[in-house]
Amino acid sequence: MKEAIKMVVFDMAGTTVNENNIVYKTLRNAINTVGGYELTLTEVLAYAAGKEKLQAIKTVLKNSLDVDDDELAQRMFTLFLKDLEHAYEVEEIYPNANAEELFAILKERDILCVLNTGYDRKTAESLLEKLNWKVGKDVDALITASDVPRNRPYPDMIDMAMQKFEITDSSVVMKIGDSIIDIQEGQQAGCALSIGITTGAHDAAQLRSANPDYVIDDLLEIVEILEKKNISNTVV
């Protein structure tokens, strides 16, 4: 008999957090300002979504512009961090639709709720503060790109979350995110389910290209998926 899902790992921006693509707009502006380019938001989202942000810049430069320049990327990243800090001070940030309702449902069912993100810890914690989400109350843990040696699509952040709660079997973990690389992260971690959601960076067709177990449009769809998964796991 397989065990039921014990932990759900959520991406932040675009999945549980509605910040109107502030991060990727700021990333695009930093790349264009420092490099003198004219990249669109669509181009940036296609290659940067879900990644640790310095790596995201390098990936955009390579794939959109055929530029491989670590020093240039670092200058763009430095400007990005400065501008993002200001943007988060002045722009409105909201919970994504039904995120808080789903967190409460998971809490009632004793299913751990973990946030993970391609942000560094300082940025991620500033988001939580603005949303008034507290680790240990609203969510059980926050794992960020700066906490681990390797970032998505490697499974290091999910592995860290499992270690934190002494979970040894990734088949009791579910991963949800709005980008292809989120799905790949869950797959590399061996999660029971890796799910894409259409509320952020990538559309349904892009998400399906990564062969997720589900593509959903609303976080509350997770409740039915959990029920189906946990019922099927009780069948001997």
- Does 1 have pLDDT greater than 80? no
**pLDDT score at 236:** 37
**116, two tokens:** 């993970």
**pLDDT score at 88:** 82
Instruction: Look at the alpha carbons of 80, 81, 87, 93 in this order and tell me if their dihedral is positive or negative.
Output: positive
* Section 88-113 average pLDDT: 93
**pLDDT score at 169:** 95
> 127-131, 197-201, 225-229: which range is least confident on average?
225-229
Measured CA angle at 129 (ends 32, 170), to 5 deg: 85
Residue 126's pLDDT band, with cuts at 50, 70 and 90, is confident
* Section 186-198 average pLDDT: 97
- Does 235 have pLDDT greater than 70? no
Percent of the chain scored above 90 by pLDDT?
A: 76
Alpha-carbon distance 5 to 8, whole Å? 8
Find the DSSP H helices in 7-153: 22-35, 41-48, 53-65, 70-90, 99-108, 121-131
Percent of the chain scored above 70 by pLDDT?
A: 96
Residue 163's pLDDT band, with cuts at 50, 70 and 90, is very high
Amino acid at 21: N
- Inter-residue contact 111 to 173 (CB < 8 Å): no
- Does 233 have pLDDT greater than 80? no
Q: Which region holds residue 132: left if phi is over 0, alpha if psi is between -120 and 50, else beta?
A: left
- Does 145 have pLDDT greater than 60? yes
Which CA distances in Å does 140 have to 7, 112, 136, 209, 217?
A: 10, 6, 5, 31, 24
Which CA distances in Å does 126 have to 13, 93, 121, 134, 137?
A: 13, 11, 8, 11, 17
User: Across all residues in the chain, what is the average pLDDT?
Assistant: 92
What would the pLDDT profile of 25-81 be if each residue is shown by its tens digit?
999 999 999 999 999 999 998 888 878 889 999 999 999 999 999 999 999 999 999
Residue 217: name the closest of 193, 196, 232, 197 by CA: 197
Contacts for 104 with CB less than 8 Å, ≥ 6 apart:
none
